[in-house]
A = this chain, B = another copy of it.
Amino acid sequence: MEAAEHDKRKCPSHLSTTECTKQLLPVKDALDILSGKWKLQIILSLTFGKKRFKQIQREIPGLTPKMLSKELKELEINELASRHVYDTSPVTVEYELTAYGKTLKPLIEELHKWGTKHRKKIIARAVRD
């Protein structure tokens, strides 16, 4: 009975349908880290070194403090960036990519590679038609 319920058209023979969707969870996690309007730009900005709050905001036109604050908190929660407060006046806060945060690099490069090919393909079609 159990074996008969498995439909080979849906999933590879060694995986049940629910196991398949479980495989998607980590992919969605990774995607969540990178998607959204500002995350990539903020991460990119931090790949070039430590940055202060206003400094990031100035670099990224249109980015409001609310959004920046929210995104930086998420980066911290995910241990991708660290926050350092210095007791100066006015207070200095620096954000920095962690070593772990830097492990995103190959992933972003892979996205860049595929995206570049895709741009070419879509633009080529637009010219053709």
Contact = CB atoms under 8 A, between A and B. Distances in A.
Q: Which of A45, A51, A114, A121 has the most CB of B within 10 A?
A: A114
Q: How large is the interface on A (under 10, 10 to 19, 20 to 34, 35 or more residues)?
A: 35 or more
A5 interface: no
Contact of A27 (B21, B24, B111): B111
A121 B30 CA distance: 13
Contacts of A55: 9
Given A25-B119, A41-B21, A111 B10 contact: no
Interface of A: 9-12, 17, 20-21, 23-31, 33-35, 40-41, 44-45, 48-49, 51, 55, 59, 78-79, 100, 103-104, 106-108, 110-112, 114-119, 121-122, 125
